[in-house]
A = this chain, B = another copy of it.
Amino acid sequence: MRGAVIHAPGDVRFEELDDPRIVQPTDAIIRTVVTCVCGSDLWPYRGAEPVGEPHPMGHEYVGVVEEVGAEVTSVRPGQFVIGSFATSDNTCENCRNGYQSNCVRREFMSTCQAEYVRIPNAQGTLVATPEHPAEELLPSLLTLSDVMGTGWYAARAAEVRPGSTALVVGDGAVGLCGVIAARELGAERIIAMSRHEPRQKLALEFGATDLVTERGDEGIARVKELTRGVGVDSALECVGTPEAMRQAVRATRPGGNVGFVGVPHDVTIDGQELFFSHVGLRGGPAPVRDYLPDLIQRVLDGRIDPGKVFDFTLPLDQVAEGYKAMDERRAIKTLLRP
Protein backbone atom coordinates (compact mmCIF):
# COMPACT_ATOMS: atom_id res chain seq x y z
CA MET A 1 0.00 0.00 0.00
CA ARG A 2 0.99 3.66 -0.11
CA GLY A 3 1.07 6.38 2.53
CA ALA A 4 2.64 9.66 3.68
CA VAL A 5 6.10 9.69 5.25
CA ILE A 6 7.82 12.76 6.70
CA HIS A 7 11.58 12.83 6.05
CA ALA A 8 12.45 16.29 7.33
CA PRO A 9 10.74 19.62 7.98
CA GLY A 10 8.90 20.60 4.80
CA ASP A 11 9.54 17.17 3.24
CA VAL A 12 6.48 14.88 3.19
CA ARG A 13 6.45 12.10 0.56
CA PHE A 14 3.85 9.62 -0.62
CA GLU A 15 5.59 6.24 -0.63
CA GLU A 16 5.16 2.52 -0.98
CA LEU A 17 4.86 0.99 2.52
CA ASP A 18 4.29 -2.47 3.96
CA ASP A 19 0.66 -3.43 4.22
CA PRO A 20 -0.43 -3.27 7.86
CA ARG A 21 -1.18 -6.64 9.50
CA ILE A 22 -2.92 -7.82 12.64
CA VAL A 23 -0.17 -7.85 15.28
CA GLN A 24 -2.22 -8.21 18.47
CA PRO A 25 -5.54 -10.07 18.79
CA THR A 26 -7.01 -6.68 19.80
CA ASP A 27 -6.09 -5.05 16.46
CA ALA A 28 -8.21 -4.28 13.44
CA ILE A 29 -7.19 -3.27 9.92
CA ILE A 30 -9.27 -0.66 8.12
CA ARG A 31 -9.29 0.56 4.55
CA THR A 32 -9.16 4.34 4.74
CA VAL A 33 -12.19 6.09 3.24
CA VAL A 34 -11.03 9.65 3.95
CA THR A 35 -8.21 11.07 6.06
CA CYS A 36 -6.69 14.53 6.49
CA VAL A 37 -3.89 16.80 7.69
CA CYS A 38 -4.05 18.18 11.24
CA GLY A 39 -2.79 21.50 12.53
CA SER A 40 -0.59 19.53 14.92
CA ASP A 41 1.05 17.78 11.92
CA LEU A 42 2.48 21.20 11.11
CA TRP A 43 4.65 21.27 14.25
CA PRO A 44 7.21 18.77 12.82
CA TYR A 45 6.55 19.99 9.26
CA ARG A 46 7.63 23.46 10.36
CA GLY A 47 10.59 22.14 12.35
CA ALA A 48 9.02 23.23 15.65
CA GLU A 49 9.26 19.61 16.79
CA PRO A 50 12.10 17.24 15.85
CA VAL A 51 11.30 14.85 13.01
CA GLY A 52 13.94 12.21 13.80
CA GLU A 53 13.94 9.18 11.52
CA PRO A 54 11.54 9.28 8.54
CA HIS A 55 8.15 8.04 9.74
CA PRO A 56 4.52 7.78 8.59
CA MET A 57 2.10 10.57 9.49
CA GLY A 58 -1.58 11.10 10.23
CA HIS A 59 -3.94 10.37 13.12
CA GLU A 60 -7.41 11.14 11.73
CA TYR A 61 -9.39 8.50 9.92
CA VAL A 62 -12.68 6.93 8.96
CA GLY A 63 -12.72 3.67 7.10
CA VAL A 64 -14.17 0.28 6.40
CA VAL A 65 -13.09 -2.68 8.52
CA GLU A 66 -11.06 -5.17 6.47
CA GLU A 67 -10.01 -7.61 9.17
CA VAL A 68 -10.20 -7.94 12.95
CA GLY A 69 -8.06 -9.77 15.53
CA ALA A 70 -9.41 -12.74 17.48
CA GLU A 71 -10.47 -10.64 20.48
CA VAL A 72 -12.36 -7.96 18.56
CA THR A 73 -16.12 -8.53 18.62
CA SER A 74 -17.54 -4.98 18.65
CA VAL A 75 -16.94 -4.33 14.94
CA ARG A 76 -16.79 -6.66 11.94
CA PRO A 77 -15.39 -6.57 8.39
CA GLY A 78 -17.43 -4.41 6.05
CA GLN A 79 -18.59 -1.93 8.69
CA PHE A 80 -17.92 1.80 8.40
CA VAL A 81 -16.05 2.95 11.50
CA ILE A 82 -14.70 6.05 13.20
CA GLY A 83 -12.12 6.05 15.97
CA SER A 84 -10.14 8.43 18.11
CA PHE A 85 -6.59 9.60 17.41
CA ALA A 86 -5.79 8.01 20.82
CA THR A 87 -6.72 4.35 21.12
CA SER A 88 -8.26 2.97 24.31
CA ASP A 89 -9.52 -0.31 25.69
CA ASN A 90 -12.55 1.57 27.04
CA THR A 91 -12.59 -0.62 30.14
CA CYS A 92 -9.75 0.60 32.41
CA GLU A 93 -10.43 2.97 35.28
CA ASN A 94 -9.35 6.05 33.34
CA CYS A 95 -11.67 5.06 30.48
CA ARG A 96 -14.54 4.50 32.90
CA ASN A 97 -13.86 7.96 34.31
CA GLY A 98 -14.38 9.39 30.81
CA TYR A 99 -10.70 9.94 30.04
CA GLN A 100 -10.16 7.32 27.33
CA SER A 101 -7.35 9.44 25.93
CA ASN A 102 -5.45 8.53 29.10
CA CYS A 103 -6.24 4.81 28.86
CA VAL A 104 -3.58 2.62 30.44
CA ARG A 105 -3.28 0.88 27.05
CA ARG A 106 -3.36 4.09 25.00
CA GLU A 107 -1.45 4.28 21.75
CA PHE A 108 -1.46 7.48 19.73
CA MET A 109 -2.37 6.87 16.07
CA SER A 110 0.35 8.01 13.68
CA THR A 111 0.03 6.18 10.35
CA CYS A 112 -3.39 7.29 9.07
CA GLN A 113 -2.42 9.27 5.96
CA ALA A 114 -2.33 5.93 4.16
CA GLU A 115 -4.53 3.52 2.24
CA TYR A 116 -4.79 1.03 5.10
CA VAL A 117 -4.33 1.46 8.82
CA ARG A 118 -3.79 -0.86 11.77
CA ILE A 119 -5.95 0.16 14.75
CA PRO A 120 -4.66 -1.08 18.14
CA ASN A 121 -7.25 -1.59 20.91
CA ALA A 122 -9.88 -1.80 18.17
CA GLN A 123 -12.59 -3.12 20.49
CA GLY A 124 -12.56 -0.03 22.65
CA THR A 125 -11.55 2.47 20.00
CA LEU A 126 -13.75 2.01 16.92
CA VAL A 127 -17.41 2.97 16.69
CA ALA A 128 -19.43 1.70 13.72
CA THR A 129 -22.16 3.75 12.09
CA PRO A 130 -25.55 2.04 11.58
CA GLU A 131 -24.90 1.91 7.83
CA HIS A 132 -22.37 3.19 5.31
CA PRO A 133 -22.95 6.94 5.49
CA ALA A 134 -23.79 9.19 2.56
CA GLU A 135 -20.85 10.71 0.71
CA GLU A 136 -21.67 14.25 1.84
CA LEU A 137 -21.41 13.28 5.51
CA LEU A 138 -17.88 11.88 5.24
CA PRO A 139 -16.03 15.14 5.97
CA SER A 140 -18.06 15.81 9.13
CA LEU A 141 -17.67 12.23 10.33
CA LEU A 142 -13.93 12.46 9.72
CA THR A 143 -13.65 15.52 12.00
CA LEU A 144 -15.02 13.43 14.86
CA SER A 145 -11.79 11.41 15.04
CA ASP A 146 -9.98 14.51 16.25
CA VAL A 147 -10.80 18.19 15.66
CA MET A 148 -14.53 18.16 16.40
CA GLY A 149 -13.98 15.87 19.40
CA THR A 150 -11.17 18.14 20.53
CA GLY A 151 -13.29 21.27 20.19
CA TRP A 152 -15.98 19.46 22.16
CA TYR A 153 -13.55 18.62 24.95
CA ALA A 154 -12.30 22.22 25.01
CA ALA A 155 -15.87 23.37 25.63
CA ARG A 156 -16.49 20.66 28.23
CA ALA A 157 -13.19 21.33 30.02
CA ALA A 158 -14.07 25.04 29.99
CA GLU A 159 -17.46 24.06 31.49
CA VAL A 160 -19.58 25.85 28.89
CA ARG A 161 -23.14 25.95 30.21
CA PRO A 162 -26.50 27.10 28.86
CA GLY A 163 -26.69 30.88 28.82
CA SER A 164 -22.98 31.41 29.40
CA THR A 165 -20.38 33.44 27.51
CA ALA A 166 -17.56 31.56 25.79
CA LEU A 167 -14.36 32.79 24.21
CA VAL A 168 -12.60 30.77 21.53
CA VAL A 169 -8.87 31.49 21.15
CA GLY A 170 -7.59 30.11 17.85
CA ASP A 171 -9.37 30.05 14.49
CA GLY A 172 -7.92 26.81 13.15
CA ALA A 173 -10.11 23.76 12.63
CA VAL A 174 -10.17 22.95 16.36
CA GLY A 175 -11.13 26.49 17.33
CA LEU A 176 -13.88 26.54 14.71
CA CYS A 177 -15.17 23.20 16.00
CA GLY A 178 -14.97 24.70 19.49
CA VAL A 179 -17.46 27.34 18.32
CA ILE A 180 -19.84 24.55 17.27
CA ALA A 181 -19.36 22.82 20.63
CA ALA A 182 -19.97 25.99 22.63
CA ARG A 183 -23.18 26.57 20.66
CA GLU A 184 -24.37 22.99 21.13
CA LEU A 185 -23.67 23.20 24.88
CA GLY A 186 -25.87 26.28 25.05
CA ALA A 187 -23.54 29.28 25.20
CA GLU A 188 -25.55 32.42 24.62
CA ARG A 189 -22.60 34.46 23.51
CA ILE A 190 -19.57 33.11 21.67
CA ILE A 191 -16.62 35.43 21.07
CA ALA A 192 -14.19 34.18 18.43
CA MET A 193 -10.69 35.66 18.19
CA SER A 194 -9.90 35.69 14.48
CA ARG A 195 -8.48 38.08 11.92
CA HIS A 196 -8.72 35.88 8.81
CA GLU A 197 -11.82 36.60 6.79
CA PRO A 198 -12.70 33.06 5.61
CA ARG A 199 -12.29 31.78 9.16
CA GLN A 200 -14.31 34.66 10.60
CA LYS A 201 -17.07 33.79 8.16
CA LEU A 202 -17.06 30.14 9.16
CA ALA A 203 -16.97 31.06 12.87
CA LEU A 204 -20.09 33.18 12.41
CA GLU A 205 -21.75 30.40 10.43
CA PHE A 206 -20.93 27.96 13.25
CA GLY A 207 -22.50 30.21 15.87
CA ALA A 208 -20.03 32.90 16.93
CA THR A 209 -21.84 36.06 18.03
CA ASP A 210 -18.82 38.37 18.26
CA LEU A 211 -15.45 38.58 16.53
CA VAL A 212 -12.33 40.04 18.12
CA THR A 213 -9.49 40.85 15.73
CA GLU A 214 -7.13 42.36 18.30
CA ARG A 215 -4.45 40.17 19.88
CA GLY A 216 -2.37 40.20 23.07
CA ASP A 217 -3.29 42.78 25.72
CA GLU A 218 -5.53 44.62 23.25
CA GLY A 219 -7.43 41.43 22.55
CA ILE A 220 -7.88 40.79 26.27
CA ALA A 221 -9.07 44.36 26.80
CA ARG A 222 -11.56 44.02 23.95
CA VAL A 223 -13.00 40.81 25.42
CA LYS A 224 -13.29 42.49 28.82
CA GLU A 225 -15.12 45.40 27.18
CA LEU A 226 -17.58 42.96 25.67
CA THR A 227 -18.22 41.37 29.08
CA ARG A 228 -18.88 44.35 31.39
CA GLY A 229 -15.22 44.35 32.43
CA VAL A 230 -15.61 40.98 34.13
CA GLY A 231 -14.40 38.46 31.55
CA VAL A 232 -15.92 35.36 29.98
CA ASP A 233 -17.29 32.35 31.82
CA SER A 234 -15.37 29.91 29.62
CA ALA A 235 -12.35 30.16 27.35
CA LEU A 236 -11.39 27.50 24.83
CA GLU A 237 -7.63 27.69 24.19
CA CYS A 238 -7.13 25.97 20.83
CA VAL A 239 -3.58 26.97 19.89
CA GLY A 240 -0.93 25.84 22.38
CA THR A 241 1.31 28.91 22.51
CA PRO A 242 2.19 31.03 25.58
CA GLU A 243 0.37 33.98 23.99
CA ALA A 244 -2.84 32.02 23.45
CA MET A 245 -2.79 30.66 27.01
CA ARG A 246 -2.23 34.14 28.41
CA GLN A 247 -5.14 35.52 26.41
CA ALA A 248 -7.42 32.71 27.56
CA VAL A 249 -6.56 32.99 31.27
CA ARG A 250 -6.63 36.79 31.42
CA ALA A 251 -9.90 37.12 29.49
CA THR A 252 -11.72 34.71 31.82
CA ARG A 253 -13.69 35.93 34.82
CA PRO A 254 -12.89 34.91 38.41
CA GLY A 255 -14.37 31.45 38.87
CA GLY A 256 -14.51 30.86 35.12
CA ASN A 257 -12.73 28.05 33.31
CA VAL A 258 -10.15 27.60 30.59
CA GLY A 259 -10.15 24.38 28.56
CA PHE A 260 -6.84 24.08 26.73
CA VAL A 261 -6.47 21.64 23.87
CA GLY A 262 -3.63 23.04 21.79
CA VAL A 263 -0.61 20.88 22.68
CA PRO A 264 1.41 23.36 24.77
CA HIS A 265 4.70 24.45 23.27
CA ASP A 266 6.92 26.39 25.72
CA VAL A 267 3.91 27.21 27.87
CA THR A 268 4.48 27.75 31.59
CA ILE A 269 1.83 29.04 33.93
CA ASP A 270 2.70 31.35 36.79
CA GLY A 271 1.23 29.85 39.96
CA GLN A 272 0.62 33.17 41.66
CA GLU A 273 -1.11 34.72 38.64
CA LEU A 274 -3.35 31.68 38.26
CA PHE A 275 -4.06 31.77 42.02
CA PHE A 276 -5.25 35.36 42.11
CA SER A 277 -7.24 34.92 38.89
CA HIS A 278 -9.50 32.24 40.45
CA VAL A 279 -9.58 30.69 36.96
CA GLY A 280 -9.92 26.92 36.61
CA LEU A 281 -7.73 25.17 34.08
CA ARG A 282 -8.03 21.77 32.44
CA GLY A 283 -6.45 20.49 29.27
CA GLY A 284 -5.21 17.44 27.52
CA PRO A 285 -5.69 15.20 24.52
CA ALA A 286 -9.47 15.02 24.08
CA PRO A 287 -11.28 11.86 25.21
CA VAL A 288 -12.83 11.67 21.77
CA ARG A 289 -13.99 8.09 22.29
CA ASP A 290 -16.33 9.24 25.04
CA TYR A 291 -18.07 11.67 22.69
CA LEU A 292 -18.21 9.57 19.50
CA PRO A 293 -21.69 8.01 19.83
CA ASP A 294 -23.25 11.39 20.64
CA LEU A 295 -21.33 13.34 18.00
CA ILE A 296 -21.96 10.72 15.28
CA GLN A 297 -25.68 11.07 16.01
CA ARG A 298 -25.50 14.86 15.78
CA VAL A 299 -23.81 14.57 12.37
CA LEU A 300 -26.25 11.93 11.08
CA ASP A 301 -29.15 14.12 12.27
CA GLY A 302 -27.70 17.08 10.36
CA ARG A 303 -27.50 19.04 13.59
CA ILE A 304 -23.78 19.86 13.25
CA ASP A 305 -21.71 20.22 10.11
CA PRO A 306 -18.07 20.44 11.22
CA GLY A 307 -16.91 19.05 7.85
CA LYS A 308 -17.04 22.64 6.59
CA VAL A 309 -13.60 23.15 8.13
CA PHE A 310 -12.25 21.27 5.10
CA ASP A 311 -11.74 23.96 2.49
CA PHE A 312 -9.28 22.00 0.40
CA THR A 313 -9.54 18.45 -0.95
CA LEU A 314 -6.82 16.42 -2.62
CA PRO A 315 -6.21 12.84 -3.70
CA LEU A 316 -4.17 11.14 -0.99
CA ASP A 317 -1.17 10.87 -3.32
CA GLN A 318 -0.90 14.68 -3.27
CA VAL A 319 -0.64 14.78 0.53
CA ALA A 320 2.55 16.89 0.32
CA GLU A 321 0.59 19.72 -1.29
CA GLY A 322 -1.98 19.38 1.49
CA TYR A 323 0.67 20.15 4.11
CA LYS A 324 2.03 23.01 2.04
CA ALA A 325 -1.36 24.68 1.62
CA MET A 326 -2.00 24.55 5.37
CA ASP A 327 1.50 25.71 6.22
CA GLU A 328 1.04 28.73 3.96
CA ARG A 329 -2.44 29.30 5.44
CA ARG A 330 -4.03 28.87 2.00
CA ALA A 331 -6.20 26.16 3.56
CA ILE A 332 -7.78 25.75 7.00
CA LYS A 333 -7.70 21.97 6.71
CA THR A 334 -6.98 19.51 3.91
CA LEU A 335 -9.14 16.45 3.24
CA LEU A 336 -7.38 13.52 1.56
CA ARG A 337 -9.11 10.84 -0.54
CA PRO A 338 -7.28 7.57 -1.20
Which of A242, A264, A278, A281 neighbours the largest number of chain B CB atoms within 10 Å of its CB? Answer: A278
Bound-state CA distance A61–B194 (Å) is: 49
Q: Report B-chain residues with C-beta under 8 Å of the C-beta of A36.
A: none
Report B-chain residues with C-beta under 8 Å of the C-beta of A271: 242, 245, 260, 264, 266-269, 283
Tell me if A255 and B97 are in contact (CB < 8 A).
yes
A241 to B174, CA, bound (A): 35
The answer to whether B282 touches A272 (Cβ under 8 A) is: no
- Bound-complex Cα distance A281 to B101 (A): 19
A99 and B275 contact, Cβ closer than 8 Å, known pairs A269-B269, A281-B282: no
**CB-CB < 8 A to A102: which residues of B?**
254-255, 278
Interface size for A (C-beta < 8 A) is 38
Residues in chain B near residue A157, CB distance under 8 A: 280
Provide the residues of chain B in CB contact with A282, threshold 8 Å.
278-281
Q: How far is the CA of A281 from the CA of B260 in the complex (A)?
A: 12
> A94 on the interface (CB 8 Å rule)?
yes
Say if the beta carbon of A70 comes within 8 Å of chain B. Answer: no
The verdict on A253 contacting B94 (CB below 8 Å), with A268-B269, A278-B102 known, is: yes
- Supposing A99-B254, A271-B268 touch, asked if A93 and B228 sit within 8 A by C-beta, the answer is yes
The residue of chain B having its C-beta at the shortest distance from the C-beta of A259 within the complex is: B280
Q: Is A44 in contact with chain B by the CB < 8 A criterion?
A: no
Tell me, yes or no, whether A274 is within 8 Å of chain B by CB.
yes
Contact, CB under 8 Å: B285 / A254 = no
A20 contacts the other chain (Cβ, under 8 Å)?
A: no
What is the CA–CA distance of A268 and B245 in the complex, to the nearest angstrom?
14
Residues of A222-248 at the interface with B, using a CB-CB cut-off of 8 Å, are 228, 230, 242, 245
Q: B280, A285: Cβ atoms under 8 Å? A: no
Please give the distance in Å from A260's CB to the nearest CB on chain B. Answer: 7
CB nearest to A100 among chain B residues: B254
When the two chains form their complex, are residues A264 and B255 in contact, meaning their CB atoms are under 8 A apart?
no
Complex interface bits, A94-111 against B, C-beta within 8 A gives 1, otherwise 0: 100111011000000000
CB-defined contacts of A99 to chain B, threshold 8 Å: 254-255, 278
Whether A272 and B280, one on each chain, are in contact in the complex, defined by CB atoms closer than 8 angstroms, is no
- Per the 8 Å Cβ criterion, residues 262-299 of A in contact with B are 263-272, 274-285
Q: Give the Cβ gap from A64 to chain B, nearest Cβ, in Å.
A: 32
Of all chain B residues, which has the CB nearest A273?
Answer: B264
What is the chain B residue whose CB lies nearest that of A237? B271
Tell me which residues across on chain B come within 8 A of A266, comparing CB atoms: 271
Question: Which residue, A245, A275, A285, has most C-beta atoms of chain B within 10 A?
Answer: A275
- The 8 Å CB contact of A270, one of B268, B280, B281, is B268
Chain B residue numbers with a CB within 8 Å of A260 are 271, 275
Chain B residues whose CB sits within 8 angstroms of the CB of A98 once the complex forms: 255
Q: Using Cβ atoms and an 8 Å threshold, which residues of chain B touch A277? A: 284
B285 pairs with A97, CB closer than 8 A: no
Interface CB pairs A-B, < 8 A, 19: A94-B253, A97-B255, A98-B255, A99-B278, A102-B255, A245-B271, A260-B275, A263-B272, A264-B271, A264-B274, A267-B270, A267-B272, A268-B269, A269-B269, A269-B274, A274-B281, A275-B284, A278-B283, A281-B282
